[in-house]
């Protein structure tokens, strides 16, 4: 499949959750080989890292945003099988819940398919919680 993803479009939001920060990335032609599943050095050592700290550490890196997540959830054959067993987060879009604070969206493979999930930035991200970076 030759899927082109518009990473400049404003992602979905609601009255309950809004976009706090969105890093545009232009139009990308999807190629899973150009995605790095990034782990911070702390995560590589098997320890979890606080999401707020991880978010700061990712500044300046080519983080993929929620538009890529939405595309992959709609077109699941695009997701490599070797991503199973991991949680993939898209730090290019940070959301604010109306009452509960900041979070990022991601996905994990469960019950025979990829499912959306979210993780609060006050939580810890362990060694299965990868950040999707564009290396293209």
Mean pLDDT value across residues 10-15: 85
pLDDT tens, position by position, 118-132: 999 999 999 999 999
For the chain, the domain total comes to 1
* Main-chain dihedrals φ then ψ at residue 76, nearest 5 degrees: -60, -25
Please tell me the pTM assigned to this model. 0.95
Q: Which residues contact 99 (CB under 8 A, 6 or more apart)?
A: none
Q: Is the pLDDT of residue 1 over 70?
A: no
Backbone angles phi, psi at 38, to 5 degrees: -85, 135
Q: Which residues in 113-136 are b (16+ Cβ under 10 Å) and which e?
A: ebeebebebeebbebebbbbbbee
Q: Encode pLDDT of 91-104 as tens digits.
A: 999 999 988 899 99
Range of the domain at 79: 4-134
Give Cα 50 to chain centroid, integer Å: 16
């Amino acid at each position: 499949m030759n899927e082109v993803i518009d990473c400049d479009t404003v992602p979905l939001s609601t009255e309950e959750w809004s976009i706090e920060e969105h890093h545009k990335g232009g139009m990308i032609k999807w190629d899973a080989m150009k995605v790095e599943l990034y782990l911070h050095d702390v995560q590589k050592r098997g320890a979890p890292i606080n999401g707020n700290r991880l978010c700061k550490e990712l500044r300046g890196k080519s983080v993929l945003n929620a538009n890529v997540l939405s595309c992959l959830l709609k077109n699941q054959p695009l997701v490599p099988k070797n991503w199973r067993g991991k949680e993939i987060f898209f730090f290019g879009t940070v959301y604010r819940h109306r009452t509960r604070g900041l979070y990022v969206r991601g996905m994990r493979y469960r019950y025979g398919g990829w499912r959306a999930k979210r993780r609060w930035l006050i939580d810890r991200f362990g060694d299965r919680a990868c950040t999707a970076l564009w290396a293209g």
